[in-house]
Chain A
Amino acid sequence: MTSEVKIPDIGTGGLLRFAWRQLTSMRTALILLLLLGVASIPGSLIPQRSQNPMKVREYFASDPTIASWLDRLSLFDVYGSSWFSAIYILLFISLIGCVLPRTFEHLQAARALPPLMPRNLNRMDFHQSWAGSELELERAKLWLKREKFRIREFEGSVSAEKGYLRETGNLVFHLALILILIGVSLGALFSMNGEAIVNVGERFTNTPTTYDDLSFGRLFKDSSMPPFSLKVEDFKATYNPATSAPEDYSLKVSVIAEPGAVPVKKIIKVNSPLGFGSTNVYLQANGYSPVVTVRDRAGKIVLQGPIPFLPQDSNMTSIGAIKVPDSSPQLGFVASFLPTAARDKIRGGISSYPEALDPLLLLSAWKGNLGLDKGVPQSVYRINTQPMQKIGLKALQVGDTYTFAEGSIRFDGFVQWVNLQVVKDPGKGYALIGGILAILGLLASLFARRRRIWIRFNSEGFIEVAGLAKSGAPGLEEEIAKLITEVKGLY
Chain B
Amino acid sequence: MTHTSLAYLSNDFIYSAMAVFTLAFFAHAYETAFAIRAPQTDVESNSQVSQGNLLVKTFDFQRTEKIARIATALMILAFLLLLAGVVTRGLSAGRVPWGNMYEFSITGALAFSGAYLFALRKYDLRWLGLLVSISVLLTLGTAVAVLYRPSAPLVPALKSTWLIIHVSAAIISGGVFLLSNVIAASYLYLDSMEQKGERKVWARRLPSLEVLDQLSYRLVAFVFPLWTFSVIAGAIWAEHAWGKYWGWDPKETWAFITWVAYAAYLHARVTVGWRGRKAAWLCLLAGSTFLFNYVYINIWGTGKHTYSGL
Contacts and interface: CB of A to CB of B under 8 A. Distances in A.
A246 interface: yes
Interface in A33-68: 33-34, 36-37, 40-41, 43-45, 47-48, 50-52, 55
Contacts of B63: none
Nearest to B250: A44
A170 to B, nearest CB: 9
Given A37-B257, A273-B240, A446 B301 contact: no
A48 B248 contact: yes
B245 A44 contact: no
A243 B246 CA distance: 31
Contacts of B303: 51
B219 to A, nearest CB: 12
Given A36-B260, A79-B248, A248-B159, A282 B225 contact: no
B272 to A, nearest CB: 8
A465 B223 CA distance: 35
Interface string B253-281: 11011001101101100110000000000
Contact of A37 (B157, B256, B271): B256
Given A271-B157, A271-B159, A432-B236, A423 B244 contact: yes
Nearest to B157: A270
A193 B242 CA distance: 11
Contact of B302 (A36, A50, A52, A443): A52
A435 interface: yes
A270 B264 contact: no
B260 A37 contact: yes
Given A37-B257, A248-B159, A421 B243 contact: yes
B249 interface: yes
Say what secondary structure dominates the interface of chain B: helix
A33 B260 contact: yes
B257 A41 contact: yes
A4 B247 CA distance: 51
Nearest to A424: B243
B297 interface: yes
A270 B156 contact: yes
A434 to B, nearest CB: 9
A357 interface: no
A50 B253 CA distance: 14
B144 to A, nearest CB: 20
Interface stretch (B24-32, B69-77, B227-235): B227-235
B221 interface: yes
A431 B245 contact: yes
Given A37-B256, A55-B302, A271-B159, A439 B267 contact: no
B301 to A, nearest CB: 7
A43 B245 contact: no
A466 interface: no
Interface string A168-193: 00000000000000001000000001
A428 interface: yes
Interface string A457-471: 000000000000001
A442 B232 contact: no
Nearest to B297: A44
B155 A439 contact: no
Given A44-B254, A248-B156, A442 B225 contact: yes
A30 interface: yes
Given A26-B271, A43-B253, A439-B225, A33 B263 contact: yes
A62 to B, nearest CB: 16
B194 interface: no
B249 A471 contact: no
Contact of A271 (B160, B248, B260): B160
A272 interface: yes
A113 interface: no
A471 B240 CA distance: 41
Interface string B155-193: 111011010000000000000000000000000000000
A79 B224 CA distance: 25
B222 to A, nearest CB: 8
Nearest to B258: A37
B128 interface: no
B241 interface: yes
A442 B302 contact: no
A82 interface: no
A435 B235 contact: yes
Interface in A140-163: none
A245 B158 CA distance: 12
B243 A193 contact: yes
Given A247-B153, A439-B232, A280 B254 contact: no
Contact of B248 (A37, A51, A270, A439): A51
Interface in A257-298: 269-273, 280, 282, 284
A443 B225 contact: yes
A37 B261 CA distance: 8
Interface in A183-241: 184, 193, 240
Contacts of A284: 242-243
A274 B51 CA distance: 69
A491 B266 CA distance: 40
A270 B241 contact: yes
A368 B257 CA distance: 54
Nearest to B218: A474
B155 A246 contact: yes
Contacts of A248: 156, 159
A282 B242 CA distance: 7
25 contacts: A33-B260, A37-B256, A44-B253, A44-B254, A45-B250, A245-B152, A245-B153, A247-B154, A270-B156, A271-B157, A271-B240, A272-B240, A421-B243, A423-B243, A425-B245, A431-B245, A432-B236, A435-B232, A435-B235, A438-B228, A438-B232, A439-B228, A439-B232, A442-B224, A446-B225
Given A51-B247, A79-B248, 5 more contacts: A30-B264, A33-B264, A37-B256, A245-B152, A442-B224
Interface of A: 26, 30, 33-34, 36-37, 40-41, 43-45, 47-48, 50-52, 55, 78-79, 184, 193, 240, 243, 245-249, 269-273, 280, 282, 284, 421, 423, 425, 428, 431-432, 435-436, 438-439, 442-443, 446, 471
Interface of B: 152-157, 159-160, 162, 221-222, 224-225, 228-229, 232, 235-237, 239-250, 253-254, 256-257, 260-261, 263-264, 266-267, 270-271, 297, 301-303
